[in-house]
Each structure stands twice: as C-alpha cells, then as structure tokens.
C-alpha cells in the first residue's frame, strides 16, 4: 500500500518549540539539576534535542515500556521492557515522552516511578492528544496539543518506521 506523509508540524516549528520548553524548564529548575528519564523509543529524539536546550546540569536514563503492538490503537497492556539503570531516590526527575494519547502508559509509569521516592516527578511530552484521554494524567510541559490523528516523525513510528523524520507528519494511505 502506498503511504504519503502530510506535514503537521514543520521541523522549524518543532525545533523552535523545543527551544522554548528548554528555556522554561531551565528557569523552573534554576539552581537544581534534572534527571531526565526517556521513554524509549519514541521519546529519544525529543529528549536529545530538549537536553541540549536545558542550561542547568542534566543526567539521563532510559526505560522502555510497551503498550502498543504494530497496531495504531492502545492495547491497554503496559509492560516494562527495559528498566532504568539508576535509582531515582531524592532526585528531581523529569520524564520525557513523545506523546500522551489515552494516558494509560504514563499513568502507570508515573505511579511506578513515584514509588521510587524521587524528590520531584514531572512529565514533559512533545505531543498531547487531549481528545483521546481515557485516564487523567498531569502533564507539566507540553510541546503541542494536536487533533486526534495518528502522527509519525521525531521519534514516533508507524510499524517502527518514520521515526527519523525531522518533522511531525500524518500518514495518509
Ligand atoms: P497511551 O498509553 O495511549 O497514552 O499511548 C502512549 C504511546 O502510544 C505513545 O508513547 C506512543 O508510543 C504511542 N502512540 C500514541 N499515539 C500515537 C501516534 O499518533 N503515533 C505514534 N505513536 C503513538
Ligand atoms: Mg512512547
């Protein structure tokens, strides 16, 4: 099947917004350091760009959870595929995600990370689809709110493809 990708958010728009969020985070965490927790694989592109725009000291860790198969609808099943390497105890933790959709993944994840006794725990997502929310999740930093469309690029995939697009697009078949 032939697929086309329509640009929803251009590379320039995304880059500019990440710069703004980075500045906002740097102000909010002034005098502290941030432990960024990246949710693989989708959050990785955003996390790298964001980390470069944060001016307070930053450390990084990665984890991988699965809630999606190759389908475009959430299964509601969340499983830890790869856990963090380091302890979160006493640290100012900022979780970096690609997108909050139903909220199932993040709600589960944040609850689990909270049990590890961080000094603080916040969530930063590049994209938010508020219309799709099933479980309420408090998002502290949002790049863009987008309509209910399946998007790819900047880390987001469709069947593991398109993650490398430098913009956010909608797959059209
Ligand atoms: P949630 O648990 O429904 O909030 O889904 C979270 C995960 O689903 C995200 O971290 C993505 O990996 C995936 N996801 C949700 N919407 C999209 C989309 O539009 N494009 C690609 N992946 C998506
Ligand atoms: Mg994700």
Ligand 1 center–CA 149 separation, angstroms: 11
Residue 171 Cβ contacting ligand 1 at under 6 Å = no
131 is catalytic: no
pTM score of the predicted model: 0.93
pLDDT along the chain (173 residues), means of 10: 90 98 98 97 96 98 78 64 97 97 91 96 98 95 97 96 97 88
Ligand 1 center–CA 168 separation, angstroms: 13
* Ramachandran category for residue 155: left, alpha or beta (phi over 0 → left; psi -120 to 50 → alpha): left
Of all protein residues, whose CA lies closest to atom 15 belonging to ligand 1? Answer: 101
Rounded CA separation 65/42 (Å):
10
Q: Strand 4-9 vs strand 168-172: parallel, antiparallel, or unpaired?
A: antiparallel
Side-by-side strand order, sheet with 151-152: 4-9, 168-172, 151-152
Rounded CA separation 171/160 (Å):
13
- The ligand 1 atom at the shortest distance from the C-alpha of residue 78 is 2
């Amino acid at each position: 099947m032939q697929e086309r990708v329509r640009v929803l958010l251009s590379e320039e728009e995304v880059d500019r917004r990440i710069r703004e969020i980075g500045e906002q985070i740097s102000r909010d965490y002034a005098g502290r350091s941030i432990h960024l927790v990246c949710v693989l694989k989708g959050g990785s592109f955003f996390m790298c760009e964001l980390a470069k725009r944060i001016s307070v000291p930053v450390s990084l860790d990665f984890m991988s959870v699965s809630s999606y198969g190759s389908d475009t609808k959430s299964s509601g099943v969340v499983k830890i595929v790869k856990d963090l390497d380091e302890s979160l105890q006493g640290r100012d933790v900022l979780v970096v995600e690609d997108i909050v959709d139903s909220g199932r993944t993040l709600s589960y994840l944040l609850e689990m990370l909270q049990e590890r006794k961080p000094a603080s725990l916040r969530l930063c997502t590049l994209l938010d689809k508020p219309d799709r929310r099933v479980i309420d999740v408090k998002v502290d930093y949002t790049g863009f709110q987008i309509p209910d469309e399946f998007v790819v690029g900047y880390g987001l995939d469709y069947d593991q493809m398109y993650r490398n697009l430098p913009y956010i697009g909608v797959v059209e078949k």
